[in-house]
Each structure stands twice: as C-alpha cells, then as structure tokens.
Amino acid sequence: MSPDSITRDMIVDRIYGLLQGELLQWDKETALKDLAKHLASVLIEIGRRGNLGPHGLSRLSDIFMSVGHQGTTHYMALTVNPGIGDIQILLKGELREKDGKNPLHDEGQMEMLRDGFNREAVRQWLALRQTG
C-alpha cells in the first residue's frame, strides 16, 4: 500500500478500531467515531507539516497503541510511527505510576493506564462537542 492509496476513511477506520479496543466502556458509537475523525484530521495535519517524513504515512499499521514513560510514570497513547524521526502522539493518556511496576508485566498498572487514556479521550471528546 502506498501513501497515495491511504484515504481519510481508512485512517478513521484504523483509529476507530484501536480506540474501540481500549475504550470498551464507551457506549456511544457516534462519540467514538467523532473522536476518531478528529484524530484522523490531527494526523493528516501532522503529515502536511512534514512530521511524518518525506513520504507521509506509508502503512495503516504505523498507527498503533503504545505505552510510554516519563521518568517513573507511564502513559498509554495512540501513536504514529513516521518512519523517520520521533513517534508522533495523537492522544496521550494521563500519567500514572504504581510502585515502580512495569505496566507490560503488571495488569493492575495496565488497567490504570487504560483508565488514564479513557479520561483523556473523554476530555478530548467533550472539547470537540463544545467547539462544534
């Protein structure tokens, strides 16, 4: 698949699928779809600014969920691998820490990260509703 063959709808569907897997408690499909459309627009703008490398998004699988860290705290994020340069974060959950445990090896810590991601997703969605 070349960057020219990736459509906005394909990006929205990819983001929607990833969010749906993490935001299980959301009962409104339209809210999740609206958030996915907004994040797709953010991603497209990142690409227009050249922050996805010279060829832009080359594969839908370059959009993925990840766990990052800042010092001893961790977060869950919806991210994009640009192929060149730093990973771009589309939506970053709240920072969480639990006794220095690694969330990749501790289900309780991972649940805390999911909760932090959900809270930030709700904030983003509420901000979208207010603006438009």
How many structural domains comprise the chain? 1
Question: Three-state SS for 6?
Answer: coil
Give the pLDDT band of residue 4 (cuts 50, 70, 90). low
121: amino acid identity, one letter: A
- The range of the structural domain enclosing residue 44 comes to 3-131
pLDDT score at 42: 95
User: Rounded to an integer, what distance in angstroms lies between the CA atom of residue 69 and that of residue 110?
Assistant: 13
Closest to 117 in 3D by CA, of 80, 89, 81: 89
Place of tokens 């809210």: 31
User: Rounded to an integer, what distance in angstroms lies between the CA atom of residue 82 and that of residue 76?
Assistant: 18
Report whether 77 contacts 56 (CB < 8 A).
Answer: no
User: Rounded to an integer, what distance in angstroms lies between the CA atom of residue 108 and that of residue 101?
Assistant: 9
List pLDDT tens digits, range 30-53: 889 999 999 999 999 999 998 888
H/E segment holding residue 44 = helix 29-48
- Average pLDDT value for residue range 99-117: 83
Q: Is the pTM of this model over 0.75?
A: yes
Q: Which of 1-10, 18-27, 117-126 has the highest mean pLDDT?
A: 117-126
